[in-house]
Amino acid sequence: MSLFVARRLAGVAIVAFAVGACSPQSSSAAAPQTDSPAAVAATAQPPTSVQPVGTLNGRMLPDFATLVEQVGPAVVNVSVVEKAHRVARGRDDARDDQVEEFFRRFGLPSPRGGNEDTPQRQGEGSGFIVSGDGYILTNAHVVADADEVTVRMTDRREYSAKVIGVDKRTDVAVIKIEGKDLPVVRLGDPSKLRPGEWVLAIGSPFTFENSVTAGIVSATGRAMPGEDLVPFIQTDVAVNPGNSGGPLLNAAGQVVGVNSQIYSRSGGYMGLSFAIPADVAANVAQQLKTNGKVSHGRLGIGIQGLNQSLAQSFNLPDSNGALVGTVEKDSPADKAGFQPGDVIRKVDNVAVADSTDVTSRIGNMAPGTKVSVEVWREGKPVTLSATIGTFDDTEKVAKANKSAQGQGKLGVAVRPLTQDEKAEIGHDGLVVENATGPAARAGIQPGDVIVSVGSAKVTTLEQLKRQVDKAGDHVALLIERNGQKIFVPVRIG
């Protein structure tokens, strides 16, 4: 059975055995306050601190029961309904409309066999209150297509909620209920999380409201397929459909993440759960609350992670960083002087671990922000200054995708590009006509275009040989295939 990511943890049309655990009860509305998600930590303190209880190998265990008592009231069930919608039909159906009107006038059933409304769709998710006047964080995929949103609290109060904003790129949404002095959570610092640390989730799996599950942090800074803006927190906390949007708490009772995804063969929990870091969610939430939308930053580069072979090819001291494969023309990166073959090592003087680290940091910066980026170029560090641009949905940012790659030492037979080929792809290079030996093992295929060796562009066989001879046992080739550029390490020693 193939592996897939189960994003829609909000559960649609839950099966018969999954029943709600909360009955609705009316409540009075109150004037809104002005708390922001980013200010929660300063304005909402728990009644008491959570105390350890019991021991494991001489270490104290957290008191989960007290933690739930303190934080649980601020965790809510989010129920959504998509109203029935008329099925769209074309102009050619006008004649059929006249026939239907004839049948309707005489009280006869429609020849279409009933109305054309799609059935209502219902879903369940979770959320948590971040300000006393009713702002709630949840997942975008829980409420993005909702016509009605209902929030139920642990004390059985029920509210109609308004969707303030949705950001599908990070899967974060903000909704609002009318309330006063509501219980709130505290936001923690996810950067301090360590693998092996205790964490706890509260949510409504399969509509079982206020369910509590616990586990440990498995890893931090995880990249997920198709995701480049969120460095996910991986845990082994049991998360199922309906947990989406609920909080991930540390042992101090602080929210460190928003439960969002699972990785599964069955669609249900299999020990791999992923949460959006709280700082990422809070930043997005503040923008949604203030502007109703989110502007994500971008530089206009295509990057990929490093492995040992690539690091050796660029004479790097280690494998940390992100390798620049493409630089978009007239992009912020182009204006700042980025070049293919640069390896990003630091952003604002903070070391980066991999490509996910870079994309998440840049993507969550506000457009217009000045950023200092240290790159490794031709064996030494170079500092570049760039102004963050705006991410445009219509632009296709080149994304690194580990794929393929470069007779002689390399094992490639090449020829120069023709004028027509140059015009078609927009640059010069060498076309691979045959690949054997090291190049074939690295994945080079006939039809690939070798653009550069490291950061040195090559347009003739002599240039290619010269750069390969200089490279030593490892060489990094920048190739283009099907419009995508990527660096590929080739071991020739």
Reply yes or no on whether 313 is catalytic: no
User: What would the two tokens of residue 274 be?
Assistant: 């992923």
Residue 466 CB partners (closer than 8 Å, separation 6+)? none
Lookup: tokens for 486: 């990527």
Annotated catalytic residue 96 = no
Structure tokens of 256? Answer: 């460190």
Q: How far apart are CA 259 and CA 167, in angstroms?
A: 15
Residue of 79, 141, 342, 355 marked active site? 141
Q: Exactly one of 244, 313, 331, 455 is catalytic; name it.
A: 244
**Catalytic: 141?**
yes
- How far is it, in rounded angstroms, from Cα 89 to Cα 115? 13
* SS3 sequence of 194-236: CCCCEEEEEECHHHCCCEEEEEEEEEEEECCCCCCCCCEEEEC
CA–CA dist 466, 469 (Å, integer): 5
Q: How far apart are CA 136 and CA 403, in angstroms?
A: 42
The encoded tokens of residue 309 equal 């072979």
Residue of 35, 133, 167, 171 with catalytic role: 171
Report which secondary-structure segment, H or E, holds 381: strand 380-387
The amino acid at residue 205 is P
Residue with tokens 């949905």: 393
A 10 A CB-CB count for 483 gives 8
* d(C-alpha 41, C-alpha 252), whole Å: 13
Residues recognised as catalytic: 141, 171, 244
